[in-house]
Every structure is written in structure tokens, then in C-alpha cells.
A and B are shown apart, each in its own frame.
Chain A
Amino acid sequence: MPFGNTHNQLKLKFSSADEYPDLSKHNNHMAKVLTPDMYERLRSKQTPSGFTLDDVIQTGVDNPGHPFIMTVGCVAGDEETYDVFSELLDPIIEDRHGGYKPTDKHKTDIEASNLKGGDDLDSNYVLSSRVRTGRSIRGFCLPPHCSRGERRAVETLSIEALASLSGDLNGKYYALKNMTDAEQQQLIDDHFLFDKPVSPLLLASGMARDWPDARGIWHNDNKTFLVWVNEEDHLRVISMQKGGNMKEVFNRFCTGLTKIESLFKERGHAFMWNEHLGYVLTCPSNLGTGLRAGVHVKLPNMSKHAKFEEVLKRLRLQKRGTGGVDTAAVGGVFDISNADRLGFSEVELVQMVVDGIKLLVEMEKRLEKGESVEDLIPAQK
């Protein structure tokens, strides 16, 4: 339970077997890994801020999962969660991130000039380009566990840092609780506004507590660089624009992130990062780069091809509908993005997207002309 440290002491009076959750109908990463023995070993532990095993797994206990989609089923309440509960989280990370081992090192690379090409994706097909990631501020608890005081401190720090951005990144902060109707409508029209989470996956972890206190949206005047404060993570950073110039999007993404990081450092705060897990975020699925680079792309023919899913898999890409995760594609337009987060650098992931989209568009053009695409089917990356 959030910040009720002494509650865990009560549980220890009962046997581990009596406390062990019923996971017989569950299908998520947590349920696959947790055993009664592991539960017994970990249940007396807590992080320095008081986050416990039951806090980590509550969302996975409350949401048995979907027969086809494998959710993670746990969250971190602070940076130390990944250490204190590594016995549970390491195998989950390994399973979720393609075999990533506890001894592996993650490479961070946000040097935008390392990206080859990406400025010439065909805008007849690629409608928009976007790169997002998350950042956590070291020393503060994460959204499932933070107190109101901590969350407000994260907001205050963020507002101060973002206010120092200038030039192309000059912008303004909109606190969710002070928004005027006009501002709210504008943010909705710009597709920037985020709302209180409704997904039980998020609600069960406690990250929607005290909504909308200390939540807000910052964006630059050009509406191409956007920061969400205190939604699922401390910060979600988004660079986006219409058309297919992913290189420009990624340039701005890297410049902005680097600038924000130095502004926080100037104020005595670092981002949560280590050389094993990369950037540390609330959900284990977002570790490493936390990066999702994607496009909205028209693939009405390719998407009906029998090998579409296989091609995506080989390119290490995933498809979503244009409303984001768990939505349907409309009019043959798909959201295509990198499937990986950890074990590849930011540049490597965006490169995969750029190269993969180029190939998919080429295949789409072939199919439009009634030609075969067999020779274009890629090998597994």
C-alpha cells in the first residue's frame, strides 16, 4: 500500500502460504515467474522508501491478463525496486526483453547525427512521425508510490527546468488542475491532452491517486515537442510532426532531452539511469531506452498480405491502431513502431524504424502495381 510502511509488518504475522496470491487464472509475466518460495523470500523486504513485494505485484494480481496479450503485471515504486526485488524482476525483464540477462549492459546513444537517413520517408504514405520516451528523476518515488508532496516537487522541478528552454524549444506549461476550458479544448484539438488513466492495469498500481494534482502538459510554441508530467512516469517526452522526416523529429528529440537533462543537473537532479537497465521507469517494459519511435503509415495492401505479421516480426517492429495501443487501424493506416526497448540504443531503434518503414513503403508500392514482394522479404534482424 502506498507509503504505509508499517502495513507490511502486519502481513508477516500470517504465513507466507496464507498470503500467497491465487494466480491460477493468470497470464502475465509476474504470474509466470512468481513462486510460493520466491514470495516467502521476498515478502519481508522493502525498499528504503517502503515499497514492498505486494506493492510491486498488486496490478498483476488484480489483472489476470489476456489470453493473447502478455502484460507485465508489476511496477516499480522507486529506483531501488529493481534491486531489492531483482529475484522477481530479472527473470521478468529477461522474458520481456528478448533474453536480456542480469549481467548484460545497455548502451545509451542519443547522438542524433549517428542516425543514417530518415529524412526522406515518403509523405504520400507516412502521415506523421513521432518519438517518445520517459525519464524519472532520481531521489523521488515513482507514480505508484509517491506522496502528494513528492509528486508536487517533481512538478515544480520540471516546470522550472522546462521554463529555461528557448529557441525552437520555447514553450509553456499547462497544469491539469488550472486549465481553462479554452486551453483544454486546444490541447484536445492538438492531440496533446492526456486524461486520468482508465486502464485497470494502471489504476490498480495506484498511479492515478490524487488526480489531477501535480499533473500537467508542457509543449513548445511550435507544437513539436511535448512533455507530460506525472502521468505513468515522472516525465514522458515526445517529439512529433506531420510527414515523414523522422530525422528531424529525432534531432529535436535528442537535443531537447539532452538540454532537459542538463537543466535538471544544474538544479542538482539526475535522471534515474544505470549501465545495466539504462533509463529506469515505472513499468519494466519501458526500461533501457523507454523509446517508442513510430509513424502513422498507409499500408492498405501490405497489411492484407499474408506475410505482414512475419515481416514486422523480422524487422523488430510492432503495429498498433492509430489511437495507440489496443486500438484498431482505420482506413489501412497503421501505427508502426519499434518492438524493443532494452538492449538496443536509441539510435539503433530509430534506425530500425527508419529502415523498416522504407522497406514496407517499397513493398506497398510494389503491391499497388500488382507486383510480387517475395524478394523483398527481410531476414530476421
Chain B
Amino acid sequence: MASSFSRILSSKRHIGFLSLVGGSVTAGFLLHREHVSAGTPVRRSYPASAEYPDLRKHNNCMASNLTPAIYAKLCDKATPNGYTLDQAIQTGVDNPGHPFIKTVGMVAGDEESYEVFADLLDPIIKERHNGYDPHTMRHPTDLDASKIHSGQFDERYVLSSRVRTGRSIRGLSLPPACTRAERREVERVVVDALAGLKDDLTGKYYSLTQLTEKEQQQLIDDHFLFDKPVSPLLTCAGMARDWPDARGIWHNNEKTFLIWINEEDHTRVISMEKGGNMKRVFDRFCRGLKEVERLIQERGWEFMWNERLGYVLTCPSNLGTGLRAGVHVKLPLLSKDPRFSKILDHLRLQKRGTGGVDTAAVGGVFDISNLDRLGHSEVQLVQTVIDGVNYLIECEKRLERGQDFKVPPPLKQFK
């Protein structure tokens, strides 16, 4: 069972281990740009100019950055797994975007996509991540939860706290491109590792193909169940193929640590609980992640990571930490203040409705989370959320007392 995979991975695995020892000179050797060769060139009957997509009505990061020259340079290349530029940009071609919301418009089919298509992805990354330049900058990874301070929110305002990220298994293609066998291998590797979790992290796996009615209802009631994606942004990228084969949900018995398998990424890891103890949520998050990593390493696997891009995930918007730390918080007065958006912007926070992205806030309760993903560590981002939410609560309290508040200065960005 593992033999076909060990053949593929044997050359990469050894080098990959070195890259985990942070700061070593050999770190990043595997993904140093010049060393990743593209796969067999793509056979094409038409010149690049005849194939170039019509992006005149488009407003996404891919459309802003894909010039005819870049297209011509990259259109005949493929990653070693055979993933092509046209496949990577298909979602952005099919979904012109929204006049107000700028989507990314491109995905990675495998780890090497970020190298082979760097001429397009680097400017997209720079645009999406506030000027982060993968050529010159290094992404800091820091999962030491002990560094967090003031991580307990006022629970009269904060109803729940949550931290999520994603992790990809090195050596296996990502959801837009993976074969059924690869997807099943991701499931086997992760489920096998999760079975080794103990104590408060002891849990159980629920495969989407085998859910009983009762289990399904329980997962829905717990707000854990994920369904086949309906967003055309995701379906056009091919990540819903073969649904629900090799998809599933793992969660611990306490229902505070949850892992989605083979949805938009190989894994999505979520730590959550009611109330305002973000420190405990983040502590469990870091512990759980490190333990899962240790368990897959024991079995000869590792996560996709490099010092330029941090953790490698399907969507370029999730590079770096892939981390979204957020709370559901009651801000009925502040949210009606005309300065609300500006405050959020200065604090590097974003608001969503309580149903998640693209939903409306109900009863003055907002989902507030970090805007950034790349270029700041996990600890830094969670601290930013903690400090920011505490500030928002202070503003709300002042408004309750009939007092005014100050708009905070913008947080420093790298440039």
C-alpha cells in the first residue's frame, strides 16, 4: 500500500526533513526555484495569443496580473505532476469576480505550482498579501502559545472563539488536481495519525461516504458538518470531483478540536469553544497541530512548508499561516458607528456575518478575525486579534456609557 508512494517520496523526503529544522542553510533547498523543473511540456495546437483568456470583464487578482506575455511564457509548462497553467487559472476565468470583492482567481494543484508558475503567482501573492515579496522576504512560523497575553475576553461580549488553519501533506497533489488514489492516501495518512491523539485530543473519524443518519444529524447540530462545495469559485477549480469519496470529519470527544479532510485543502484544522478564552483555544490549536505533525512524521510524511511561503495550501490567499483566528462578538453600537470599518481596517481585522464569509451579521453579533495570513507568525496574528477585539470591546463599552472613543492608528505593515 505505501510502496508506490515511498518510491515517489524517497527523493524528496530526506531533503524535506532538513527544511523542518528552521533556519538551516539547506532549508528550502527542495523548493529553491531554480531546482524545480517543470514536467513534460503541454501539447498545444494554437499559439498562446489564440488561447489567452478574455479577461476584460474580470476583477480578480489573476486577471490583474496575467499579461499576454506571462501567459505565453507559462502556458506550455506543467508541474512534474502534469498540472498546467490553464488548470490553475480556470476558476478565475470562469468567475469574473465581484466589483467590490476581489477574489484571487487562481489555485495551486500541487506544491510545485508555486514554483513553476511563480511568474504569475508571485505578483498575485504580493498584491493579496500587502506587498509580501517571496523573493526577498521570509515568513515566520511560531506556534508557541505561551507567548500570548491577555487572551481571555470579556464574555459579556465575546460569545465564542475559534482558530483555524490548513495543512497539506507533502508529496500528494492538492484538491484541484489530486487523483482519487492520492485523495484516499491523504485520508489514510491523516486518519491513521489522528488515531494516535490522546487525552483531551482523543477523538473519532466520520467518513462522509459512511455517515449514518444519526451521525449526520449530530454533526449538523454541532455545526461541524461540511457539505459538497456549491461556490463556483471552488467547483470550477475541480476540488469537488468524486464527492464524497475520501472526505470526512474528525473531532475530539470534547468537540473542541476538529479536522476536515479533503475539502478545499488536504486538511483544515479547527480549535474552538464557546466563550472568550482565546488563549486556551490557541493553546489547544498549537498542541494539536504539533502532535499531528509529530504523528505523521513518525510515519514518514511531512507538511508542505517552506521559508518563503510558509505553509503551502490550495488557495494563495491562505499561504503563510493559513490562519484565521476569530470571535463571535456583540458590537451592536459600534457596528452602527460610521467609523467601524476604518477601525477594523487599522486594527488589521475583518468582519463577517455569523454564518461565515459572505453572510450577514445577526443581532449585532459579528465574526471578527485577522485580515492577514502571510508575513506574520501565528502568535503575532492571534495577538493582533486579541488586542484588536479588546479594543473593539472597549469602544463598545464607551459608547454604552455615552462616551466617545479614539480611532486607533493603523498597525504597521511591512513594505
**Contact (Cβ within 8 A) B39 A6:** yes
Question: B87 in the interface, Cβ–Cβ < 8 Å?
Answer: yes
- Picked from A3, A15, A54, A152, the residue with its CB within 8 Å of the CB of B86 is A3
Total chain B interface residues with beta-carbon distance under 8 A: 44
Residues on the A chain within 8 Å of B180, using CB: 18-21
A153 to B47, CA, bound (A): 12
Verify A14–B181 contact, CB threshold 8 A. yes
**Interface residue total, chain A, C-beta cutoff 8 A:** 38
State whether the Cβ of A117 lies closer than 8 Å to any Cβ in chain B: no
In the bound complex, CA of A6 to CA of B177 (Å): 12
Partner of A4, one of B50, B82, B245: B82
- Closest residue of chain B to A211 (Cβ to Cβ) is B94
For chain A residues 8-35, which have a beta carbon within 8 Å of chain B?
8-11, 13-15, 18-22
Complex CA distance for A201 and B8, rounded to whole angstroms:
35
Contacts of B243 in A (CB 8 A): 62
> Is A210 interfacial (CB 8 A cutoff)?
yes
Stretch at the interface among A143-151, A184-192, A300-308: A143-151
Chain A residues positioned under 8 Å from B51 (CB to CB): 147-149
| A148-B83 contact, Cβ under 8 Å, with A4-B78, A153-B46 | no
Of the candidates B46, B57, B177, B179, the one whose C-beta lies within 8 Å of that of A149 is: B46
Contact across chains for A22 and B93 when beta carbons are under 8 A apart: no
Provide the bound-state CA to CA distance between A50 and B87, in Å: 15
CB distance from B412 to the nearest CB of A (A): 42
| CB nearest neighbor in B for A13 | B4
Q: Is the CB of B94 within 8 A of A209?
A: yes
Contact B242 A62 (CB under 8 A): yes
Q: Does B40 contact A (CB under 8 A)?
A: yes
For B84, the chain A residues whose CB sits under 8 A away are 3-4
Query: A6-B40, A147-B44, A147-B46 given as contacts; is B53 within 8 A of A213 (CB)?
Result: yes
Please pick, from B39, B184, B236, B241, the residue contacting A62 in the complex, using a CB distance under 8 A: B241
Q: Digit string of B214-246 for contact with A (CB within 8 Å is 1, else 0)? A: 000000000000000000000110101111010
**A5 and B181 within 8 A (CB):** no
Residues in chain A near residue B44, CB distance under 8 A: 3, 147, 149
- Are the C-beta atoms of B40 and A210 separated by less than 8 Å? no
B358 within 8 A of A: no
- With contacts A21-B180, A209-B93 taken as known, whether A14 is within 8 angstroms of B4 at the C-beta atoms is yes
Give the distance in Å from the alpha carbon of A3 to the alpha carbon of B43 in the complex.
Answer: 8
Considering the chains assembled together, what is the distance between the CA atoms of A10 and B93 in angstroms?
26
A10 to chain B, nearest CB (A): 5
Q: A333: which B residues are within 8 A, CB to CB?
A: none
Q: Is the CB of B184 within 8 A of A10?
A: no
Chain A neighbourhood of B185, CB < 8 A: 18
Instruction: Give Cα A2–Cα B93 distance, bound, in whole angstroms.
Output: 14
Those of B73-132 within 8 Å (CB) of chain A: 78, 81-84, 86-87, 90, 93-94
Q: Please, which residue of chain B has its CB at the minimum distance from the CB of A149?
A: B46
Known contacts A149-B50, A177-B54; A6/B179 CB under 8 A: no
Say if the beta carbon of A270 comes within 8 Å of chain B. Answer: no
Give the residues from 327 to 357 in chain B that come closer than 8 angstroms, CB to CB, to chain A: none
A94 to nearest B CB, angstroms? 27
Which of A10, A19, A50, A203 gathers the greatest number of chain B CB atoms within 10 Å?
A10
In the complex, which of the residues A1, A149, A150, A177 contacts B87, with contact meaning CB atoms closer than 8 Å? A1
How far is A2 from B151 in the complex, measured between Cα atoms in Å? 49
CB of B240 within 8 A of CB of A62, answer yes
A61 within 8 A of B: yes
Q: Which residues of B contact A9 (CB under 8 A)?
A: 40, 82
Residue pair A8, B54 in contact (C-beta under 8 Å): no
Q: Are A5 and B43 in contact (CB under 8 A)?
A: yes
Q: Does B45 contact A (CB under 8 A)?
A: yes
Cβ–Cβ contact B53 & A149, under 8 A: no
Given A5-B42, A6-B42, the answer on whether A22 and B94 have CB atoms closer than 8 Å is no
Q: Could you say which of B47, B83, B94, B184 contacts A208, with CB atoms under 8 Å apart? A: B94
B182 at the interface (CB under 8 A from A): yes
A22:B245 contact, CB within 8 angstroms: yes
A58 is an interface residue with CB less than 8 A from chain B: yes
B209 CB–A CB distance under 8 Å: yes
Do the beta carbons of A152 and B50 come within 8 Å of each other? yes
- Judged by a CB distance under 8 angstroms, whether B173 is at the interface is yes
Given known A5-B43, A203-B235, contact A210–B78 (CB-CB < 8 A): no
Known: A22-B209, A213-B54. Is A2-B87 also a contact (CB below 8 A)? Answer: yes
The answer on a CB contact under 8 Å between B177 and A1 is: yes
In the assembled complex, A314 has its CB within 8 A of some CB on chain B: no
**A83 → chain B closest CB, angstroms:** 19
CA distance A58 to B40 in the complex (A): 24
A209: B residues at CB distance < 8 A: 90, 93-94, 236
Q: Which residues of A lie under 8 Å from residue B39 when comparing CB positions?
A: 6
User: What is the CA–CA distance of A161 and B63 in the complex, to the nearest angstrom?
Assistant: 33
Name which residue of chain A comes closest to B48, CB basis.
A149
Indicate if the CB atoms of A15 and B179 lie closer than 8 Å. Answer: no
Contact across chains for A50 and B45 when beta carbons are under 8 A apart: no
Interface of B toward A, CB cutoff 8 Å: 4, 7-8, 39-40, 42-47, 50-54, 57, 78, 81-84, 86-87, 90, 93-94, 173, 177, 179-182, 184-185, 209, 235-236, 238, 240-243, 245
Given contact pairs A9-B82, A13-B4, A148-B52, enumerate 5 new A-B contacts (beta carbons under 8 Å). A1-B177, A5-B82, A10-B81, A11-B179, A58-B241
Complex A-B: 6 CB contacts under 8 Å? A4-B83, A5-B40, A13-B4, A18-B184, A22-B242, A148-B53
